[in-house]
Structures are given as C-alpha cells and as structure tokens.
Structure 1
Amino acid sequence: MAYTKFYHVLSFYLATLIAIYEFLLSVLPYILNPASILIAFADAFLDLYFRFCGLSPCTIELDEQTTMHFWSSNPRRSNKPDLLMLHGYGGNSKWQFMHQVGSLSRTFNLYVPDLLFFGKSYTKMSDRTEVFQAKCVAEGLRRLGVERFGVYSISYGGFVAYWLAAMYPEAVERLVIVSCGIGMTEEQKKDQLNKIGRSALKLLVPESAHDLRGLVNISMHKATPVKWVPDVVIRGFINVTYEKNRKQKLEMAEYLLREKADLNLPILTQETLIIWGDKDAVFPVNLAYELQRHLGPKSKISHPLCTQLLVYFQFISIIMACLALASSSDFVELLGSSQGCCIPQSYRDTKNRSFAFDIKPGEDDVIVVTKENFDTCNSAEPLYQFRGPVYIKALTPGTYYFTCSFAGHCVKGQKVAIHFEPSSNVLPSASPGPSPSSSASDESVAIEHLQI
C-alpha cells in the first residue's frame, strides 16, 4: 500500500517536472528574444485575418504518421471555382499569402495548406521529395471533398504543383507557376549557387538576421524597407517561423540541391501560366523560357515589363483570378503597352469578358474613356478611374478604351483598346495604338469591377 502511494506521488512529481521543462523549452525563444512575442502576436493576428476572410483551419490525419493542415473556405460555395495555393520556403501559408487571401476569397473557394514541416503539417516518414508532398496535398484535398481545382504555386510550391498536375491530371484544371527552378540542369544549379556566393541552405532556412537579409536581398528586387528592420525583430521572425522542424526543412532543401535533373520530366496536359521577373536573382528568367519550351503550346509566359519581379511576397492575385476564371477553351493573355509602365500589367479572360490591371497606387492609374477621348488623349473626363489593382468584367460586348491620367503618358502611345465580340472563343487583339473601327457607344461601356 505504502509502495503504491509512493509510486503515485513520484509519478505526479515527475510528470509535473516534465511539463515544466517542456513549457520552459517552448518559451525559451521568447525569453532570449522578446521580439519573438511580437512576431507570435502577428502570427495570431494572421489567424484572425484568415478567419475574417472566410477561411477555417482544418487538420487532417492522412495516416498514423502524416498530418496536413489546411486553411479552407467555409462555407464552400458551389458557384465559386476551387483554387489551391502552394507556398514556398518564404514562410508558412499565412505569411506567404496574407496579401492575396482577402481579394481571392471573394471569388474562389480557397484551399491553402501548410506543406509538410511548415506550419502545422508534419510527417514521421523519411520521404523528403516534392512528389511525396504532392501526394499528401492531393489526399488532403480528397478528404475535403475537392475534386477539380486550379493551382497557384510559387518557388518550392512550384515543384510540388508540377508533380501534382502530372500525377493527377483529372483533378488539376490549370496551373500558375511563379519563379520556380523546376527542370534545372546540374550545370545550371552549380552556376547559380556560385553566383549567389553563399550557403544556399542558410538562405533557405536562415539561422541569423544576416542570413534572412541575404534571402530577401536576392529574392526581392527592391528590399529597401527590410534594411530598417532591427536584427532583434528579424531574429524573432526566425524563431517563430523557421525553428520548428528546422532539421526536416534542411533535409528537404538538401534533397532539392542534390537531386539530379529529371531528363524525363513529364509534359503537363493542363494550361499553364508561367510568371517570372526579369530581375529574378534566385531563378534566372531563362529558366522560364526553357520551361515553356518543354511544356509546349498549352503554356504561356508572363515576363513582367514594369513590376520587374514577381517572387516571394509580390502581389499577384489578379493574375490568379483571371487564370482560374478562364474557361477550359480560353486562356489568359498578357496585355500591355509597348512603351512602358503607364498601362500596368494587365490580363484578360475572353469568354467572361473580364480583364485586370495590376496598378501600383501612387505610381499608376487606369482610366476608361470614350473613343474620341482615346484618340485625342483627353483624360479630363474619364468614365471610370482606378488607382489600385482592379479586376474588371465588361457587361456588354464592344471596344473598351484604357489609358492613364498621368501627364504625357497617353501621347507617348501608352494606351490600350480591348475589343470583345458578343460571342467568341478567340482572344481579341490588343493594341496600344489607334483603336479598332468598331466601338461600343458610350452607353454600352458598362462594367462591374472589384477593387482589390
């Protein structure tokens, strides 16, 4: 009896000591770096923001060894298309897509998973390949009842998305790949690592503020704001977003770096939009053209003229919106002025008579004008004016005339006319010069728009 009582008391104290020890380990990063508390609060705020956007967290046990965490639209709307968003090494799903979910959730049922070893997704299995990641994502979507979906992917997420599309062509409708090294040869990997001139592993899974600054400097064309962020805050961000499952993240990165080029990389059957920045220092833009040549006529490339870099944290939701809204027989085509950035990067969906402009507030605007004002570059009486990113749907067929109100831009030829037939399966042509002879009357220039 006394032995049993002693055993229970001892077990209680041991369990208490273990609990205290685990608690101290969990709060140690916050004690060593109080800025981690600020980042943790920001992470919690992102939780609330995702919920405000109509997304709910969901943890799915795929088997006894693997758990996938998703943010998914709740409730799921039958009149909205499904869109899967796959993040890269730049953080978990919340930090990667915090700028996009607000606008995209109005138009799509979103499914935003944490890839394995990011956020709350984890596996005890030793497989570190992007193929295994793709299988886990596909199984998670199946458990959620998602049968057909479009995919937007960036960086490491592009590797996963590519194999997801290759292995499940009946499920993946169309695909967006942004700045991804899929298809790189051994020689290209070696040359690129030499150009970076520092440990790629420390850039992908940073240990110090210096490492993270290096990642930002090579992955963003203009990283000036980061220069003013104190090191203590950056270290706090690393503690919150990179320390968990660091070993497994490093193993995945090592696999990517040493993986031999696949000489039999499958050719995707889906329509694929490839987006690259001409100043991309992580994955050179020539990789985009090589990927397009490999995929063939069902792929198109967007090589930004004005925004220059679309990588880890760039605002690209408009591109995804147009791609996912396109019908199976139509595609999204890049429009734009031949003389610069007055007309921001723009995208068009023919069947739905919709198009979008990625406008930089304060730097660009877009106005809709009559044919007469279009021809004479009169911007004083716009029918509509947009000063930020906007998705537009034309309510009637006809020609729509766009320019910007900034002095001198229109006369330099920076304007575009877009013509929509009443019923067409062919993408209309766009010209920055004189408008087509057929035009919509002022009364028929009717649009509905979603200001992003």
Structure 2
Amino acid sequence: MHVSKLSKYLSFTANRDWFYRYSFGNAGLRSIKTDLGEGTVMHCWVPKTHNASRPNILLVHGFGANAMWQYGEHLRHFTSRFNVYVPDLIFFGESYTTRKERTESFQAQSVMKLMETHGVRRMSLIGISYGGFVGYSMAAQFPDKMEKLVLCCAGVCLEEKDLEEGFFNVSDLDEALSILLPQTPEKLRDLMKFSFVKPMGKWVPSFFLSDFIDVMCTDYVQEKKELLVGILKDRKISNIPKIKQSVLIIWGEEDKIFPLELGYRLKRHVGENAKIVVIKNAGHAVNLEKSKDFIKHLKSFLFDSQSPNSPSLFPLFDSLWSS
C-alpha cells in the first residue's frame, strides 16, 4: 500500500492520539477551547469538577505533538491530589493566535489569562523544555500566583552567544530548526538521537515516522520556527529576571539538546531556592526515558515519594516526541 493511503486509512499516530484523549477524559478531565480575545484561542484539559479543597497544578509541555503526548503517562499521579490543568501552548495542538508576538513572555501571559478564565488564581507548575521557559516567565511576571515550579531540561539560562561559540551539538540555527521541527523521517530520527540516550528511531519504519510527521508536525511550522528564534534572539543571562519561588530543576545527564551546564546555570541564577536533580543515563527526554525517576523526584518535591507505577505501555509511540 502506498504511504499516503496507509496514512489515510491506518494512522498509528491518530490512533495513539485518540487513546490519549480517551485516557484524559477517563482521568476526570474535559477538553475545552477558550477565546482569550484579540485573535488568541487556547485549548486546555481542565477538571470536569473543580475541587476547591485541592491545590492546582499546571502541566506545560515542550516542543512536540501536543500536551497529551508529553503528560499522558504521568497524568494519573496528579489527578487524585490536584486540580490538573494541561494546556496546549499557542501554535501547538488546538491553540493559536493571529497576533505577532512570539516570545515566551506572551505565551506566559496567555496561559495566565486562560487560568484566570477558569477561576484559577494560584498554582504550581511543571514545565518540560520549552514549557519550562514559559513557566519561568509566568513565575517572574506573576509571582503572587505561582507556587512551586518544576523545570525539566529547560534551557532558560542559555545565551545567544552559546550557539555562535559551539556550545550546542548543531552547527547553526537552521540545522537546529530542521531537527527540532522535523519534516522528513531522517530529521525525526535525528531528533530522537538528540533526545534519547538509547533512541529507537533507527528501528522504526519510515512510513511510521512519515505518518507521525503528517499528523503532528505540519501545522504552524513557520510560527514554531519564530518561537524558537524568539527564545534565542539577544538572550543574555543578565537580562533574565530572578524568581523567588521554590524550584526543582530536573535534567538528563546526557542531554544533547540543552546540555547539563544549562541546568547548573539555572541553579546558580535562581539561587538558594532551587534544587537540581541530575538523572543518569537519560537525555533530553528524561520524562519519558526515566519515567520512574522523574515521577519519584516530582512526588518528593510536590507532595510525597510514593512508589511510581509501571512505565508506559506504548514506549515506541512515547519515544517519538518529547523535546
């Protein structure tokens, strides 16, 4: 069967997405889109019933398919203790804007406006990679509304000169964009090599990778490039505001997208309110690659250290995207 016909009639990615939607609904969440005005619409998974006696937690994804793919495996650990909110950032999933802003500051303002629309006035936050940039900006802009933060492999303290000085494993910004926003199976394999210590990409058939790209990687490509450029442009540590919340920094020791030194920079920048945990034999996708360790540290920081449950039943699907 031709690849395009296979994608049309038997999409592994679409089926996996359906499974996540079912599991999120089964976990007590509902899918809702909110018009924030001025051309901005954001999608979010919110509690079907808000429990006023529980704290609120916001799970913010990084670059990737949508919020479900990065938190589907971990959701069950939070829904019994928190009111859980899982938004799609702008230009991911079902969120978008007609405005021209491309900064994490604007993303942060939009997420906070979304939370206020749902009546959430104080919250803790877990941010993975780009989601950590957004979470850090929320903590800086809205200090009275943000409680604890977990920042996972979030290169908040990178500088524009880092790319020029060869700090990253890519030659220039164009190469970075082609890997982080893959449009061919070869580039998706490259992304998996950068994201995992033991990537499975070389064993995955090209038609499977093409299906994933067709379903998950073709919307808002130019806008996502602009988001990445916006992160890097004129960035200096001296211009990054300090935050005062309690922060847990989690990093994969072998992260090839945001090297571990960025985790230590972030720890030094935040100061005594920050703790860093380095997970061995893990790369950028530490939340998926070392799921049990990831959850163990989250629990000890956010509530307690119960024994984590078994890993995902779908490691092949989960491995496809996490940055």
- 1:216 offset after TM fit, Å? 0.9
Judge conservation of contact 2:169–2:257 (CA < 8 Å) in 1: no
Indicate whether 1:261 and 2:236 are aligned: yes
**Distance of aligned partners of 1:243 and 1:307 in 2 relative to their CA distance in 1, 3 Å threshold:** closer
**Cα separation, 1, equivalents of 2:83 and 2:295:** 14
| Relative contact order higher in (CA < 8 Å, ≥ 6 apart) | 2
Question: Pairwise mapping of residues 270-349 of structure 1 onto structure 2 (< 5 A)?
Answer: 270-305=245-280, 311=286, 313-314=288-289, 315=291, 316-325=294-303
Which residue among 134, 140, 162 is the counterpart of 1:188? 162
Is the contact made by 1:81 and 1:324 (CA closer than 8 Å) also made in structure 2? no
Instruction: Report how far residue 359 of structure 1 moved.
Output: 8.2
The 5-angstrom pairing of residues 44-443 of structure 1 reads 44-192=18-166, 195-197=169-171, 199-223=175-199, 225-305=200-280, 311=286, 313-314=288-289, 315=291, 316-325=294-303, 354-357=304-307
Instruction: Flag the 1:265–1:271 CA change in 2: closer, same or farther, 3 A.
Output: same
Distance 1:121 1:89, change over 3 A: same
Amino acid of the residue matched to residue 267 of structure 1?
K
Q: Secondary structure at the match of 1:85?
A: strand
Aligned-partner SS, 2:202: helix
Task: Give the number of aligned pairs.
Answer: 304
TM-score by length of 2: 0.87
Contact 2:63 2:130 in 1 (8 A): yes
* Structure 2 residue runs without a partner (length 5+): 312-323
Segments of 4+ moved more than 6 angstroms:
none
Are the equivalent residues in 1 in contact too, given 2:279–2:286 (CA < 8 A)?
no
CA deviations on 1:305-360 (whole Å, 9 max, x unpaired) are: 465765363422333333222xxxxxxxxxxxxxxxxxxxxxxxxxxxx4345688
State the shift of 1:287 in Å.
1.3
**Separation in structure 2 between the aligned mates of residue 250 and residue 30 of structure 1, nearest angstrom:** 26
SS in 1 for 2:58: strand
The structure with the larger Rg is: 1
How far does residue 263 in structure 1 lie from its aligned partner after superposition? 1.8
TM-score under structure 1 length normalisation: 0.63
Distance 2:215 2:283 in 1: 30
Query: Between Structure 1 and Structure 2, which shows a larger proportion of helix residues?
Result: 2
CA distance in 2, matches of 1:128, 1:46: 28
CA separation in 2, counterparts of 1:319 and 1:163? 23
% same residue: 33
Q: Once the 2 structures are TM-superposed, how far is the Cα of residue 32 of structure 1 from its aligned partner?
A: 7.7
Shift of 1:197: 4.2
Aligned partners of 1:90 and 1:312 also within 8 Å:
no
Q: Which moved more, 1:202-211 or 1:70-79?
A: 70-79
Which amino acid in structure 2 is aligned with residue 137 of structure 1?
A: V
